[in-house]
Each structure stands twice: as C-alpha cells, then as structure tokens.
Amino acid sequence: MERILFGDNQFFGINHASEEKARAQAMRFRNAEAMIEVLDSAHEAGIKVFMCTTHAKVAEITDHVRAHPSRYSDFSFYPCMPYAHKYANAMAEHGPLDALKEMLPPTGAMAALMKGGMSLASMNVEGLAQLLIDAEMKMFRGLNTPVIFLQNVVTDLLLGIGFYEAFNIFARHVKSRYGAEPGFITMNLPALLDALEQAGIENPIVCATVNKAGFRMPGGLAAYESALKNRQFRPVAMSVLASGAIQPKEAIEYVCKLPKVESIVFGASSRQNIVETKRLIDELSA
C-alpha cells in the first residue's frame, strides 16, 4: 500500500467536530468539478491514491480519470463499500428488487437480476454479496483498484451480530474477481482483530481511527497501542488529527512513531493543507 492516502470525507460534508464546517463543505463540493480540482491538487503534490466511498458523485470522478488516462496513469482508487445512504434511499424509493436492478452492472443486467432473485429465494448470502460488490465496483471499471475496503457501517454490524464468515465472503470475492486485497474499516479495532482471527483471515488490512487524543477509539488508547504492538495486521490510520483537536505536527509525529502503521489517510480541502500534511508525513516517517 502507498504510505499516504487521500480521503473523501470533506467532499460529502463529514466533519466530526463541527456541523457548521460540514455544511460549508457540502455546499462547496456540490458538483464534481470542485472535487476534481482538490483531488488534482493532491495528485500534483505526489499523492497517488484516492480512498473513497461509492457515492454517486465519485462516479463522475472516475469518469473524468478514465477520460484522461495519461494524466492519471499512476493513480489508484481504494473503493470503500457500501455507501449506506445510497442503499437506504433506493430501498425506500423503489423497493428491494427494483433497487437492486438499478444498481446492477449494465452488462447482463437481467441475468444478474435473476441470479439475485434466486439468491433471495434460496438464502444464498454469498451470491447476494457477490452481486452487490459487483454493483458497487461498476463505477471503477478499467481503473486500478489494488485494495477494496468494506465500510465500517457493515464491518461493525457484522462484528456486532457475530457473522464473521461474511468477512471471508467479501475477501474471497474481492481477491478472485478483482485481483485486489480486501480491507476492513472499523470503529472498534481490538474487537475486529479478534473476529478476523477467528474467521481465519491472516495479516488483514484494517483501517481504524488512530490518534493521540483517543478520539473515537472504543476501548481506549492503550488497547489500540497494544494491538499495534502485538497483533499481526496491516494498519491504516484515519482521523489522526482527531478532527482538529491535535496540532498537525504533534498528531502526525505520534502516528508515525507507532509500530506497523503502513498508511495514513487524511482529507483536506485546500492545496496548502494537502501539501503541508504530506510534507509532515514524509518528514516524520523518515
């Protein structure tokens, strides 16, 4: 994995510390052009990975990247799925089968729908999961997606109900169909590591909140530091600035000194903040 990943929270009005800032960001990035401008700033600064949800606006970004192959020849996406609001809205508006049909890949849609209907009738969970993963991935066709993440909303739901085999279903399909490594985003790192170990998933890629303040880290800072020191996995650190509660240099220095952290994902909406954050990560990782 690349050391530095560019995230997308700022594009969709997500700010865990300030609703006012979240609203302002949502207004600023109402169209894909504004998002692409910021993404280009990250790319020009030397960041080669966009770790993003499967929000409908991301499809406009992937269309843009496909339209300019030489410009983005070194660029990769790390898709994070599913985008839960998209499914909830489609289910409420169209009902389950029509919502599924809307999200199917364009090729062989009817055959895929039949497969989905049969899966529903026979309770073939793996078949349904494969169908939905393929639907989420259709916007990334032809692009480089070396790591595909399961979003925390699903990861932690599966964790809570104890359906650990679902992690294997996701991992198998991502590897076999897309030649990608599976990743898992969670808001409870210690508990997920236990679950993945029980599921037999070795040395998993796990993205979790890691910051000096212990912000949004269930179980406390000590439990996370112990996991990073003693457990075998490939950590991706997110929310390293604790939504602005820690000064950037102090925050990044702390994360860079932790053992095993392979990647750091951050979001920013200005060229200056992108360049400065990358500089700090490069400098403090040396």
67-79 pLDDT, tens digit per residue, is 999 999 999 999 9
195-239 pLDDT, tens digit per residue, is 999 999 999 999 999 999 999 999 999 999 999 999 999 999 999
At residue 203, what are phi and psi to the nearest 5 degrees?
A: 45, 55
Count Cβ atoms below 10 Å from residue 74 Cβ, excluding itself: 10
Residue ranges in the chain whose pLDDT is less than 50: 109-110, 113-114, 120-123
Distance CA 53, CA 81 (A): 6
- Retrieve residue 155's tokens: 């990861």
pLDDT for 12 equals 85
Distance CA 198, CA 117 (A): 31
Nearest to 62 by CA among 80, 74, 77, 47: 77
Q: Is the CB of residue 128 less than 8 Å from the CB of residue 137?
A: no
* Domain 4-274, CATH class in plain words: alpha beta
DSSP 10-77: GGGT--SS-HHHHHHHHHHTSSHHHHHHHHHHHHHTT--EEEEE--HHHHHHHHHHHH-TTTTTT-EE
Domain ranges of the chain: 4-274
Residues with Cβ within 8 Å of residue 161, at least 6 apart in sequence? none
pLDDT for 123 equals 45
